[in-house]
Amino acid sequence: MHIGIDFGTSYSAAATYRNGMLEIIRFGDAAQFRTAVFFPEVVPDPSDFVLTPALESEVETHVRDLRIQQRQFGTPERADDVLRRDAIRVVRRQWLEERARTSPAATLESFQHALFGDDAVDAYMEYGDGNLIESPKSMLGFRMDADVRKVIVHITTHILEHIRLTASRQLDEPVRSAVIGRPVQFRSSMGERGSEQAIELIREAAAVAGFDEISFMEEPAAAAMHYHKSLEHRQRALIVDIGGGTTDVAYAELGGGEHPQITRSWGLAKGGTDLDVNLSVHAFMPLLGNNIANVPVHYFVEAASVHNLPKQREFRRQDFRFVDEPWQSRLCNLHIPGATTRLNQEAEHTKIVLSTEPAHRSDLGFLEDGVGVDTTQSDLSEAISPFIHRLKRALGDVNDDLVELEIPASVFLTGGTSRSLAVQAAVRESFPKIDLVKGDPSLGVVSGLAVAAAELDGMPP
């Protein structure tokens, strides 16, 4: 049996069709789970390696040994900087092996104790140790060394295995095949090569997770499959899927009992996580000295970017001893494990509340007793304006391309970030003469992936 998997930046979900009916896989009592995983053990971090005097001595010993080997075996002489580079690699590898050997719980094989979703976040904040990885999907398209690649594949493997095993228990049969959603354009530092790498990593992780067969479908195409099921008559439609990490658009012919046809797609590597970061920096970070204390602005962006492991690592390395009070104490408290995650959760919650309420009070007592911040809808509008500007520009490009196509009868809006009233207004403004249809923000994509999965099983729902 095939299932559809929406492996999302912020939340993940799975579904299939059984006896002609859509069946959402349940994760506990929920139809989706936060794409976060917590490993109670500490995995050795290669970036923690520092050449101490003792390690420097080992490097020099290796360099001398390499020179001796060159003379003994008559190999071509290599430059000193090349010998030193190779020696550092040997010492670094030995250092990692020793860290793993002296802390058996720190090996990658100990990942079987992983927790997922909100349980992962809660455990990390309770224990204050171990590793919490949020939004691993957002890292798949970036350059990474072999050590980081191995960790990212392990994390993705455990998330996909969690989905597969949960589905197998609910459906009471082994699940070995899946249709996995993918954005038109992954977040990446390498352009199209980044998307290719992301697909490679997901394929590798899925195989280790126990899937024998997987295929991919662009997320707006999956949302189109879902919308297609509700249309009695054939029509052309524009599908706008605004998720946690990316914004994807597709032009499709849907409905009327015929097979849906996707003829064009567009992608923007921005989504709801960017709104959370912007709101955190704009509304919360002034309490930690942003634009007030003598602290570079990028430190606050790093602190807010919980979905970006390198940025989180950089923030934790910063030294705030020379920052004036009260900023120093608050920044140091933000260094405590789990604190940046709490701040991000409050930013996300504030974004959701201000989508319907005029004002909100956030309790930031974990930074300092009694500290809180009041935000209004105008604060939200100002904070998310960079994203709204990028969104309108991307939708403007879509509009320009529609000149070559037949004007769609409707715009189908889905994805978690589509709940935002500002986002809805931007989409309406971009297509003022086309009917806007609002789909299920959470399950629109996975429902369409379930349709595609059912077709692969030869059982059109």
Query: What are the pLDDT digits (tens) for 118-164?
Result: 888 777 777 666 678 888 898 899 888 887 788 888 889 989 999 99
Average pLDDT of the chain to the nearest whole number: 87
Q: How far apart are alpha carbons 321 and 246 in whole angstroms? A: 38
User: What CATH number has the domain spanning 2-38+106-219?
Assistant: 3.30.420.40
Q: What is the pLDDT of residue 128?
A: 63
Q: How far apart are alpha carbons 142 and 186 in whole angstroms? A: 9
With b for 16 or more beta-carbon neighbours within 10 A and e for fewer, the 426-460 pattern comes to bbeebbeebeebebebbbbbbbbbbbbbbbeeeee
Please check the confidence at residue 461 and state whether its pLDDT lies above 60: no
Query: What are the pLDDT digits (tens) for 366-381?
Result: 999 999 999 999 999 9
Percentage of the residues of the chain whose pLDDT score is greater than 90: 53
Name the residue with higher pLDDT: 385 or 461: 385
Q: CA nearest 186: which of 196, 201, 174, 176?
A: 196
Q: How far apart are alpha carbons 227 and 452 in whole angstroms? A: 13
Q: How far apart are alpha carbons 333 and 319 in whole angstroms? A: 12
Q: What is the pLDDT of residue 328?
A: 92
Contact 414, 239 (CB under 8 A): yes
Please check the confidence at residue 179 and state whether its pLDDT lies above 90: yes
**Which residues neighbour 348 within 8 Å (Cβ) at sequence distance 6 or greater?**
276
Question: Token pair for residue 13?
Answer: 């979900």
Report helix, strand or coil for 29: coil
Name the residue with higher pLDDT: 266 or 460: 266
| DSSP code for 338 | T
**Which residues neighbour 94 within 8 Å (Cβ) at sequence distance 6 or greater?**
58
Look-up of token digits 């900087």:
81
Look-up of token digits 């998330």:
159
Please check the confidence at residue 113 and state whether its pLDDT lies above 70: no
Query: What are the pLDDT digits (tens) for 402-413?
Result: 988 889 999 999
Q: How far apart are alpha carbons 6 and 447 in whole angstroms? A: 9
Please check the confidence at residue 110 and state whether its pLDDT lies above 60: no
Q: What is the pLDDT of residue 162?
A: 92
Query: What are the pLDDT digits (tens) for 301-330?
Result: 999 998 887 888 889 889 898 899 999 999
pLDDT interval class at 204 (50, 70, 90): very high
Q: What is the pLDDT of residue 104?
A: 44
Output the CA–CA distances (angstroms, integers) from residue 110 to 38, 106, 113, 158, 202, in the order listed.
12, 7, 7, 12, 21
pLDDT interval class at 334 (50, 70, 90): very high
Q: What is the mean pLDDT of residues 66-70?
A: 79
Please check the confidence at residue 265 and state whether its pLDDT lies above 70: yes
Report helix, strand or coil for 14: strand
Q: CA nearest 287: which of 218, 237, 238, 347?
A: 347
Which residues of the chain form CATH 3.30.420.40?
2-38+106-219
Q: What is the pLDDT of residue 122?
A: 78
Give the pairing type, strands 2-6 and 177-182. parallel
Contact 246, 387 (CB under 8 A): no
Helix (H) or strand (E) holding 194: helix 192-208
Q: What is the mean pLDDT of residues 89-102?
A: 67
Q: What is the mean pLDDT of residues 90-113?
A: 58
pLDDT interval class at 108 (50, 70, 90): very low
Query: What are the pLDDT digits (tens) for 237-260?
Result: 999 999 988 999 999 999 988 888
